[in-house]
Structure 1
Amino acid sequence: MSALHLFRHGAIAELKLDNPAKLNAFTLDMLRALEAHCDELERDASTRAVVITAAESKAFCAGADILEWAELGPFDFARHWVREGHRVFDRLARLSKPTVAAIGAHAFGGGLEFAATADIRVMAPGATLALPEASVGIVPGWSGTQRLIRLIGEPMVKEMALFGRRISAERAHAAGFVADIAEDPNEAAFDMAHKLTAKSGRAVEVAKYMIHAAVNEDRSAMIEALGSGMISPTDDRNEGVAAFKDKRKPNFSGTQS
């Protein structure tokens, strides 16, 4: 059984890291479970918000389990471990549902990259953020030098990735990476999620698409999703489908249903 679980709390779903013996570090099984959970959440119309949490540990997530990738050859490491992790994290970042991450302890490496996929983040006052990959001879591989740059800027990412500096909750909040600092990040994150469920689900989804298009987060797909949403309720779309089924030429009116 994977150490990444999906729980339901009414209209709120919870994605929970549960690998405390390894500081909630990601394994390949956890990546695959996360991808499967994202597919399930995307199809579930009853889910209005997603909260990302971690089992109690000294770390929200210490990154990727070194023992999972240490023996991989260079091509397998690049092709499978890095690309698969990147693809799965992108899948979570581009989820149509709004996501809130509760960072209750340190988020290092892949753990920070995981938190960066969320739309909103809440952080405990004693937690820190770091990209320590250079200390073990590698570089960030799951969007630490890409998505994170857009969120907190080049200088702070360089502090972490080049110099190994840890970023406090206060600095993360000042940089805009963290929406709130809370003694109980889980409680604060669920409170945000509950407030999200009171909003128009469609409006929240479309707003997320628009913002992602603006910051080039899967921009081409976001633009085409918005365009498809505009064309779907038209009489022309219905006429086109009907004509295809009837094997006749369509008679487009240019009106909206």
Structure 2
Amino acid sequence: MSAVHLSQADGIATLQLDNPAKLNAFTPSMLDDLARHLEVIDADPRIVAVKLTSVGDRAFCAGADIAAWSGYAPDEFARIWVRTGHRVFDRLARLSKPTIAVLQAHAFGGGLELAAACDIRVIAPQATIALPETHIGIVPGWSGTQRLSRLLPEPALREMALFGRRIDAARAFSFGFVAEVADDADGSANGIADKLKETSPRATEIAKYMINAAVNEDAAAMIEALGSGMIAASADRAEGVASFTQKRKPKFDGR
């Protein structure tokens, strides 16, 4: 049974982590489930926004399940576990739909890295964020020192990654890392998602591509996606395809 659920209602997709007994910590199968759901979401034109939530009030996500990776040999840990998580989280960051992480409770390690891969974050007042990896002899592996360096002030990132300090909701909001602090974080996220129904899905998608290119979130792919979209709408592209199909020389007119 999947521990990452996908549901959809009125244009809003919800991804829900469901491993509360282990504070929603990721297992290999959960990474696989998330990756599969992201492909479904990206291909569905009915979806205008995505919420990322989890079950329970103890943790949004406590990172990676230690039991899932502790048995890996060093080369397997880097090649299989770290690279797989990176690939899935990168896929989330580059999703064409706007994404909202709902931090109803603590986001630690990989859970914080997961939230960082979303476009915006809403947090409950009692929730905290942290990178506790050094306390168990490892380092952040799913973009905690990379993507987070764009989203948090360097001193705060050093506090978490080097000293293991937690940052509370109010301070995270002061940094701009979270969009809102709300007692009902899920309800707040719903309100944000509903507003997207008033915007152009295509304009939102292109705006996201442009921002991703600017912050070097797979900039090469974003730039080529933008350029390819422009050329796909041109008369020259239509003429090129027609001439190839008809086995004749194209007559381009620059439109």
- Determine the C-alpha separation between the residues in 2 that align with 1:99 and 1:247: 45
- Determine the C-alpha separation between the residues in 2 that align with 1:77 and 1:161: 20
- Determine the C-alpha separation between the residues in 2 that align with 1:156 and 1:244: 57
Aligned letter for 1:55?
Answer: V
Q: Does 1:36 align with 2:36?
A: yes
- Determine the C-alpha separation between the residues in 1 that align with 2:8 and 2:38: 13
Aligned to 1:196: 196
Aligned to 1:62: 62
Aligned to 1:133: 133
CA shift, 1:10, in A, is 1.7
Deviations 1:146-192 (A, max 9, x none): 00000113211110010010001011101010000000111111110
Aligned letter for 1:11?
Answer: G
- Determine the C-alpha separation between the residues in 2 that align with 1:83 and 1:230: 33
Deviations 1:203-236 (A, max 9, x none): 1111111111111011001111111111111110
Aligned to 1:81: 81
- Determine the C-alpha separation between the residues in 1 that align with 2:194 and 2:73: 45
Aligned to 1:5: 5
| TM-score, L = length of structure 2 | 0.99
Structure 1: give runs of 5+ residues left out of the alignment. none
Q: Does 1:212 align with 2:205?
A: no
Identity score, percent: 62
- Determine the C-alpha separation between the residues in 1 that align with 2:90 and 2:144: 12
Structure 2 matches for 1:130-209, cutoff 5 A? 130-209=130-209
Stretches (4+) displaced over 4 A: none
3-state DSSP of counterpart to 2:16: strand
Aligned to 1:120: 120
Deviations 1:53-84 (A, max 9, x none): 01013111000000000000001000000000
Structure 2: give runs of 5+ residues left out of the alignment. none
CA shift, 1:197, in A, is 1.6
- Determine the C-alpha separation between the residues in 2 that align with 1:198 and 1:52: 21
- Determine the C-alpha separation between the residues in 2 that align with 1:154 and 1:251: 55
- Determine the C-alpha separation between the residues in 2 that align with 1:2 and 1:154: 37
Q: Does 1:95 align with 2:114?
A: no
CA shift, 1:50, in A, is 0.3
- Determine the C-alpha separation between the residues in 1 that align with 2:26 and 2:10: 27
CA shift, 1:43, in A, is 0.5
3-state DSSP of counterpart to 2:141: coil
Report the RMSD for the aligned CA atoms in angstroms. 0.7
CA shift, 1:246, in A, is 1.2
Aligned letter for 2:136?
Answer: V
1:24–1:57 CA contact under 8 A, matched in 2 = no
CA shift, 1:249, in A, is 1.2
Q: Does 1:19 align with 2:48?
A: no
| TM-score, L = length of structure 1 | 0.98
